[in-house]
Amino acid sequence: MDFTIPDHLQDLTQRVRHFIDSEVIPVEQQLQQTGAELTKEQVFALRDKAKAAGIFAPTMPKALGGLGLNIQEWVPILETAGRSLLGPLAIHCAAPDEGNMHTLHTFANPEQVERYLRPLAEGRVFSGFSMTEPPPGAGSDPTMLMTTATRDGDEWVINGLKWYTSNGTIADFLLIMALTDPDKGAHKGSTIFLAPIDTPGITIVRDVPTMGRGDFGGHAEIRYENVRVPHSAILGEQGQGFAIAQARLGPARLTHCMRWLGIAQRAMEIAAEYAGTRHAFGKPLAEHQATAFMLADSAMEIHYARLMIHHAAWLLTNGDQARSETSMTKVVTSEVVNKVIDRAVQICGGTGISRDLPLASWYENARAFRIYDGASEVHRMVTARQIVKKYAAPRQ
């Protein structure tokens, strides 16, 4: 592998860093100090500035107003944007819209591109991916899908209950995964439908309360009661839902890793700065071995997580599905991020658990990273299956 970052990408990364430092972090700090929630108006204002700075929509093609970068080129950009939880929202590469844009760009027909993808890529609307269901429905195992869609002439009638539909409380439209042929099971019998949020029968039950201060757009519980959509609402083809979801989740879980690694990097930097200025027992904390070793461990873990992200992105860019590699990267990065933030809180002590720094909020929000887009245990299972398939001796 060639680890050289081209000049144009270095320049773009520096411009993103300047934007995050000068435009995004001040908004983050204001919200931190006041306890206020981020508004759509603030997001749109930041996006206008990102467009003016030429750093908007890095994952989208130029024909849709994006920067036209490949997945490998996303890595330093999304990590830099991820130095603030608001950064990806500001430059328009945040979940779930980023994953939905990738999905629509890959599978949408021309009419769907104009109706759904173009306004989404331009940052004028929001979207949700409605697949996860409360027990006993689909969670980490999408084959447990219970929401159904039944054909009625030229329409489909959708019934079911979903939750953790991220962006659900602000979404303008949804990607809804439902069983269309239960006899074939979720692998061959599920389909994804596109529907405006105001389609009759779609009811936002609640925004599911979660640990932390809450994410922009929320994580909605949604009831679908006799929701009628035309046959043209199908994304891709009938029965292709599971395959589309898998195609979406590979790059999407990797972009989660890119963004969250930016938070880990900044958390380590905050801890190092604090350790260099805070004195205890006659010298700066950074000169105590216990603190220095925590910083060293964080630096090493960030380094190998970053290398894994680059490698998986390189594989995806070159046409490999990289299922094992993205699974391994998701496990490692999610656990590294949690450990690095935890150490930063520990090093900063009382200041670390206060709201004077963003560490406490990151600590709360990062915990979910080990669960969404596949829990660590699921990705370990996927990785183990590949190891057994490749190396385990057959039984005699």
- Identify the pLDDT of residue 395: 63
Cβ–Cβ contacts within 10 Å for residue 320, how many?
A: 13
- Identify the pLDDT of residue 21: 98
Beta-carbon contacts of 338 under 8 Å, excluding residues fewer than 6 positions away, are: 366, 367, 369, 370
Q: How many CA atoms lie within 13 A of 22 on its CB side?
A: 9
DSSP 8-state code for residue 58: T
Beta-carbon contacts of 87 under 8 Å, excluding residues fewer than 6 positions away, are: 20, 24, 80, 81, 259, 262
Q: What is the DSSP string of 269-318?
A: HHHHHHHHH-EETTEEGGGSHHHHHHHHHHHHHHHHHHHHHHHHHHHHHT
CA–CA separation, 117 and 114 (whole Å): 6
- Identify the pLDDT of residue 141: 87
- Identify the pLDDT of residue 56: 98
- Identify the pLDDT of residue 392: 86
- Identify the pLDDT of residue 2: 80
Q: What are the residue ranges in the chain where pLDDT is below 70?
A: 393-396
Q: What is the mean pLDDT of the chain?
A: 96
- Identify the pLDDT of residue 393: 67
Interior CA angle at 386 toward 243 and 371, to 5°? 65
Of the candidates 246, 249, 127, 123, the one whose C-alpha atom is nearest the C-alpha of residue 194 is 127
Of the candidates 85, 214, 42, 218, the one whose C-alpha atom is nearest the C-alpha of residue 50 is 42
- Identify the pLDDT of residue 3: 83
Of the candidates 252, 110, 131, the one whose C-alpha atom is nearest the C-alpha of residue 186 is 131
- Identify the pLDDT of residue 71: 96
- Delineate the domains of the chain, giving CATH numbers in brackets: 7-121 (1.10.540.10), 127-235 (2.40.110.10), 243-391 (1.20.140.10)
Q: Tell me whether the omega of the peptide bond preceding residue 182 falls within 30 degrees of 0, making it cis.
A: no
- Identify the pLDDT of residue 396: 56
CA–CA separation, 393 and 396 (whole Å): 9
- Identify the pLDDT of residue 219: 97
- Identify the pLDDT of residue 147: 98
CA–CA separation, 74 and 68 (whole Å): 10
- pTM for this predicted structure: 0.95
